[in-house]
Amino acid sequence: LQALAADLRLDANAVDYVLLAIYFVLVLGIGYMARRHVSTSMDFFLSGRSLPAWVTGLAFISANLGAIEVMGMSANGAEYGLPTAHYFWIGAVPAMLFLGIVMMPFYYGSKVRSVPEYMLRRFGKPAHLVNGISFATAQVLIAGANLFLLASVVNLLLGWPIWLSVIVAAAIVLSYTALGGLSAAIYNEVLQFVVIVAALLPLTIVGLYKVGGWQGLVDKVSAGPGGPEQLASWPGNQLTGFSDNFLSVLGLVFGLGFVLSFGYWTTNFVEVQRAMAAKSMSAARRTPIIGAFPKMFIPFIVIIPGMIAGVAVTELSGENKAALMAGGDAPSGATFNQALLLLMRDLLPNGMLGIAIAGLLASFMAGMAANLSSFNTVFTYDIWQTYLRRDRPDGYYLTVGRVVTAVATVFAIGTAFIASTYVNLMDYLQQLFSFFNAPLFATFILGMFWRRMTPTAGWIGLVSGTASAVAVFILSESGVWTLPGQGAAFVGAGAAFVVDIVVSVAVTTVTRPKPAEQLVGLVYSLTPKETRQHETTGDDAGWYRNPALLAGIVLVITIALNIIF
């Protein structure tokens, strides 16, 4: 393995380091500029709800384009091939459209400052506390995972010690998020999106050239260990672990496409926060829809490089890939997680290498900054202000937000070393999403559309759903129920959703609902229809700003992509 690490070391020269330095100066400069616009806690935590839709839309997608997404999806591309695109076309885009069209009016219209705050107003304190604490804990853990991946990549590529990489990266992210709050994080995410694309697009083009174009890639994947089924996104048996086509499609559509995906995209405050920072209801609704446009095409610069690595990188192709697909160790010692790095090593010259490294670092920092900026908001508003120190001046909470950002960064450094003990972070995180996001989505969807649902049903449903996902996980881990691939997460998510719904309905029938006047703006039937209609005046005027029309265009393109591939 040490030999492999030495093989991965990139021959970065002065040009690459200058490009990296320019990038970091820009990142810190954005933080400094954003600081001048922060005077209230709302400015710090929600950018004063002042940002245009295209900025929040790109930030929405960039916040998700973190280390785990870029490295993990490339690894999945190398292992499973084109079916990995389901994470985008089935597992993201429909849910993003649903968030923009259906759910955003409740979030933005009710003027809540966070997703847990919606839980507080809809279901009361027990459900709020469960959601707030689990979300805050998860963000620190995921920030640590992002940080660890960043450090391990810097260590492999440039030879810096892990501890030094962790501290330097944490210090940079802390600097701009603590200075400029959400605005700094969002504007940096826009920059990071550009840098990530600038890094991955040339890698994809050069990679395709090397394997003989698209047809060359098709031929090589067909001949390789994955075979032709890695070139069609449906039915995705290798990805789901189901050998039966019907069950595989059902697992993808219901488990990934509905429960896991809707759970992640519609209730995860890391994402929803970007839309909440938009300057109007229309802009907030357009945020995830604008984000869906690039999201549809990200597979082409993330998954395809992974597929290229699976046929063109010696350490990952042939018998190595076959052994890794079987769950064993490759004779080369490489893993799918190194797909992108190995491809960069093989293909990129100096200069392009600097941009590519900057792109990877950008994705790691975008992910971590998103974790930190959503954590500090939930901790300050939903835990500190709600349960510990109420009714203090606004400046007090602004200070708390900055201090908490620093404390969370220190914790993230600690959890980075916890993350280092896990072999496959992608599988681990999918599992976490099945525990927490899937039942949360069930509670939200029921609570938003069924005014009778009671506060007691809210928290009992959540806990029951999580418990059922954990039970599926235990059955799978103990070998009682064999679910290879990421099938355990899909089935767990489905179980969590169904159990949450059933328990919530049952508990609602024997407990007392909230009075209707307390639910105005929080549930569908009690929310004025005008809030869901497109504004045709001012900054929101114009057919091209109509959320429903934009969503329709995205949907048509997504369906076309599913048919073509």
Partner 1 sequence: MPRLRKHLLVLVGMLAVVVGTATAPASAAPSAPAAPASATESTSAAWPKVTRTTIGSATGTMSVAAACPVTVYGYRGTLLCGATAMEIQWSPGRLEFFGIATDRTIWHVWPNSGGWKVMPGNGHADDIYDGWWQGSARRVFVHVNSNDSYWYSDDAGPGWNGWHRW
The contact set with partner 1 (CB under 8 A) reads 212, 216, 219-220, 222-227, 238, 243, 311-312, 314, 317-319, 321-323, 325-326, 328-329, 331, 482
Q: Which among 366, 332, 325 is positioned nearest to 221, based on CA atoms?
A: 325
Closer residue to partner 1 (CB): 468 or 476 = 476
**SS (HEC) of 220-282:** HHHHCCCCHHHHCCCCCHHHHCCCCHHHHHHHHHHHHHHHHHHHHHHHCHHHHHHHHCECCHH
Closer residue to partner 1 (CB): 83 or 144 = 83
Name beta bridge partners: 561: none
Closer residue to partner 1 (CB): 331 or 349 = 331
DSSP-assigned letter for residue 387: I
Q: The tokens of 351 are what?
A: 């200069």
Distance from C-alpha of 565 to C-alpha of 560, rounded to nearest angstrom: 9
Cβ 221 to partner 1, closest distance in Å? 8
Q: The tokens of 201 are what?
A: 């697009």
Closer residue to partner 1 (CB): 95 or 316 = 316
Closer residue to partner 1 (CB): 280 or 317 = 317
Cβ 218 to partner 1, closest distance in Å? 8
Query: Interhelix angle for 339-347 vs 162-210, to 10°?
Result: 60
DSSP-assigned letter for residue 537: S
Cβ 252 to partner 1, closest distance in Å? 18
Q: Which among 280, 275, 387 is positioned nearest to 46, based on CA atoms?
A: 275
Cβ 324 to partner 1, closest distance in Å? 9
Cβ 314 to partner 1, closest distance in Å? 7
Cβ 338 to partner 1, closest distance in Å? 16
Cβ 330 to partner 1, closest distance in Å? 10
Measured CA distances, 280 to 20, 95, 419, 455 (Å):
36, 21, 39, 30
Closer residue to partner 1 (CB): 63 or 308 = 308
Alpha helices (runs of H) in 378-419, residue ranges in sequence order: 394-419
Name beta bridge partners: 278: 51
Closer residue to partner 1 (CB): 150 or 308 = 308
Burial class (CB in 10 A: 0-12, 13-18, 19+), 551: buried
Cβ 248 to partner 1, closest distance in Å? 12
Q: The tokens of 194 are what?
A: 């550009």
Distance from C-alpha of 322 to C-alpha of 306, rounded to nearest angstrom: 15
Cβ 149 to partner 1, closest distance in Å? 27
Distance from C-alpha of 540 to C-alpha of 530, rounded to nearest angstrom: 14
Question: Looking up tokens 């890698």, which residue turns up?
Answer: 203
Closer residue to partner 1 (CB): 314 or 509 = 314
Amino acid at the residue 525 = S
Closer residue to partner 1 (CB): 219 or 535 = 219
Cβ 74 to partner 1, closest distance in Å? 17
Distance from C-alpha of 162 to C-alpha of 168, rounded to nearest angstrom: 10
Closer residue to partner 1 (CB): 224 or 547 = 224
Residues with Cβ within 8 Å of 82's Cβ and at least 6 positions away in sequence, in order, are 230, 231, 232, 233, 303, 307, 565
Cβ 162 to partner 1, closest distance in Å? 30
Closer residue to partner 1 (CB): 329 or 530 = 329
